[in-house]
Amino acid sequence: MYLEEYTVGMEREFGSKTVSREEVIRFAKEFDPQPFHIDEAAAKDTMFGGLIASGWHTCAMLMRMLCDEFLIDDEGSLGSGGVDEIRWKMPVRPGDTLRVRSCVTEVRGSESKPDRGIVRSDYSVINQDDQVVMTTKSMGFFLKRPV
């Protein structure tokens, strides 16, 4: 998709990722080995009451759903320079099935590079009970449609 195809207010809902206990533990053992992410018994005694996914694992699963939905093979996408906010609102637990809701909040042409622009979007990661488990404000660079 090129920059012209994005409009403020545009909403999409997509993705379906069920996260297993094995995936939660494997990610956390490598990147976030806090007890409530890797040890079922220890997790029971924490404020979470059981094993939960690392917040960074949820970010990574969101990224995979974005790739599958539109980033892979998108001739317009030029990547991202960052993220403006991440909020981990609810625990993600083994067996949860996550999806994404996105809303475009800004579309703006670049002042220095006339062939491209910036799209800002709000993303929510939602579980099978329609609870928002994570939100983030993201920006991506996109080419304008070639003339």
Residues in contact with its own copies by CB under 8 A are: 27, 30-34, 47, 54-56, 59-61, 63-64, 67, 71-72, 78-88
Please identify, using beta-carbon distances, which residue of 7 and 73 lies nearer to its own copies.
Answer: 73
Q: Please provide residue 81's backbone torsions phi and psi, each rounded to the nearest 5 degrees.
A: -95, -5
CB 70 within 8 A of CB 13: no
Q: How far is CA 58 from the centre of its chain?
A: 7
CA distance linking residue 12 with residue 50, whole number of Å: 32
**Shortest CB 88 distance to its own copies, Å:** 6
**Shortest CB 43 distance to its own copies, Å:** 12
Please identify, using beta-carbon distances, which residue of 16 and 34 lies nearer to its own copies.
Answer: 34
Please identify, using beta-carbon distances, which residue of 7 and 22 lies nearer to its own copies.
Answer: 22
List the one residue out of 81, 34, 79, 76 whose CA is nearest residue 54: 34
**Shortest CB 36 distance to its own copies, Å:** 8
- What SS3 state is found at 67? helix
CB 107 within 8 A of CB 119: yes
Terminal Cα distance for the chain, rounded: 15
**Shortest CB 133 distance to its own copies, Å:** 12
Please identify, using beta-carbon distances, which residue of 3 and 28 lies nearer to its own copies.
Answer: 28
